[in-house]
Structure 1
Amino acid sequence: MPVDEIDAFSGDPNFMTSLARGLAVLQAFDLRQRSLTVSQVSQATGIPRAAARRCLYTLLQLGYVAEQHGHFSLRPKVLTLGFAHLSSRPLAAAAQPLLDRCRDRLHESCSLALLDGGEVYYQARAETTRIMSIALYVGTRLPAYCTSMGRVLLAALPEDELDKYLARTTLHPRTVKTVTSVAKLREILVGVRRQGYALVDQELEVGLRSIAVPVFDRHGHVVAALNTGTQAARTPLRDLTQLFLPELRAAAAELRQ
């Protein structure tokens, strides 16, 4: 919980607890919790209710959140905290035309993401016009353990870093198909490392399938992941490996050059 990470710095005179709390409050809003009350923010972060209220009040006055009938939601201004930086990154800029090409050939949305704090962090995206129940955009964060890009990136971690990730991460069942066994996830990651791609079938959200490949730097280190997501009702599993995988691998190979 965020409050535990904040409390770990107790006694450090250079650590700004109020700033850390404000950032934790911002991160409490996600794709499932777009509108929160003070009590819900307090529960999600572990921050005392009075402190959570002050954080929300400050963010409201600065224009980062909106409030209606006691429910708070993020305003577009929050994108200024990171969007310009993300969209200007060399890797994201280089990936965008390749993602656009994959989208046009596969007729599905394609994304590039990095691993950050145990989550996949979307750096670039090419969207189709189809409506999906889960909204994804540059800056989106999703849990690594149940996403195809996350598993590609976890599989590339040194064993000691993977051990630390698994020790601090609770594998919540996002759907009935979500793998929640650490032993099973380790087994899956061994397979991902061996085969060079990850396929996830409705573990993040019912009806959503995705496949991802690693992006390597010139030294052979995995620095990012590319994926394509599709609806299970429209795309059989075999198409992900037979049709989508070659396109993703070709794009990843071009990014490495």
Structure 2
Amino acid sequence: MGRTRAQEAFKPGTEGQFSENDPALALTLARGLMVLKCFDLRNSSLGNKELVEMTGLSKAAVSRMTYTLTQFGFLRYSPSMRRYSLGLSLLTTAYPLLAGLRIRQIARPLMQQMANEIGGVVSMGMQLGRKMVYIESCVSAKSVSPVVAGIGSTIPIFPTAMGRAYLCGLSSIERKELLDTIAPEWDESDNKYLAQVTQALEQYDRWGFCLAKPNLVQETRSVGVAVKGLVDDQHYAFNCGMPIARLKQGQIESDIGPRLFELVRNVELLLGVR
């Protein structure tokens, strides 16, 4: 008989969180994944000593993890630098995920068309913990936007147009469940997140889209729209970023937002979303 998993184990927002006392947890695997998650754009190469400090694991445990991950191609070792970096097995593992997202294949031509028409960047993402992960991004050849997020890059949920739109696209029950998980006490009157969520919902009710937190990125303004309902058991949200230098007064609300809204509705029609 298999081990019983806690009911909360698969709740949105709990990704990356675990307890070593969880009887259903493969602890060695969890520790190996902790090591992998230490690598990012700022930490593209790390030595065992740094990984010990970042994970809190013992030297022996980290040494076993890096050796095993290297054997499977998830890490690469540089003898000259005596440091590790991410390996190609991660890329080959991620490819079936991206290739299997039906919405990417359907939305991309529409996203590229809009990006070309407005000279901006149109992107799509999914929620992971407290962040949104970019799964597609289309940029115009004439775009001068200082922010072009690559596939796999992440942004925070609360201040960004995509993250706010994602929250607005959830049902009230789904939204509360996620917020209770990623930001406990978010709905208390003095909590900074309550005002942000309230503002996003007001904008979404009024326009069908919402804006990023003011001055989030000095040179760019962005707008977000969520896909209605589930697509292959997942929620999605889109955003569009425009350099301020190319925007006219009020254009983000009167033109860019409605364009993105229409794009997302067309994607829904093509997907058969009700």
TM-score by length of 2: 0.72
Q: Distance in 2 between matches of 1:41 and 1:132?
A: 35
The alpha carbon displacement at 1:160 in A equals 4.8
Unmatched 5+ stretches in structure 2: 1-13, 185-190, 270-274
More displaced stretch, 49-58 vs 141-150: 49-58
Higher relative CO (CA 8 A, sep ≥ 6), structure 1 or 2? 2
More displaced stretch, 63-72 vs 93-102: 63-72
Q: CA RMSD in A?
A: 3.5
The alpha carbon displacement at 1:208 in A equals 3.9
The alpha carbon displacement at 1:97 in A equals 0.9
The alpha carbon displacement at 1:141 in A equals 3.0
5 Å-filtered alignment, 1:100-179, equals 100-129=112-141, 136-169=149-182
The alpha carbon displacement at 1:213 in A equals 1.0
SS at match of 1:223: coil
Question: Measured at CA, do residues 32 and 122 of structure 1 come closer, stay the same or move farther in structure 2, by a change above 3 Å?
Answer: same
The alpha carbon displacement at 1:181 in A equals 1.3
2:240 matches 1:228:
yes
Q: Between Structure 1 and Structure 2, whose CA radius of gyration is higher?
A: 2
- Cα contact 2:34–2:55 (8 A) shared by 1: yes
Equivalences, count? 244
SS at match of 2:238: strand
Question: Measured at CA, do residues 244 and 85 of structure 1 come closer, stay the same or move farther in structure 2, by a change above 3 Å?
Answer: same
Q: Distance in 2 between matches of 1:126 and 1:3?
A: 27
More displaced stretch, 94-103 vs 107-116: 107-116
The alpha carbon displacement at 1:98 in A equals 0.9
Alignment-derived partner of residue 52 in structure 1: 62
Alignment-derived partner of residue 191 in structure 1: 202
- Cα contact 2:200–2:211 (8 A) shared by 1: no
Sequence identity percentage: 23
Q: Distance in 1 between matches of 2:53 and 2:165?
A: 32
Q: Distance in 2 between matches of 1:208 and 1:57?
A: 43
Alignment-derived partner of residue 5 in structure 2: none
SS at match of 2:162: helix
Q: Distance in 2 between matches of 1:53 and 1:192?
A: 51
TM-score by length of 1: 0.76
The alpha carbon displacement at 1:84 in A equals 2.5
The alpha carbon displacement at 1:248 in A equals 0.9
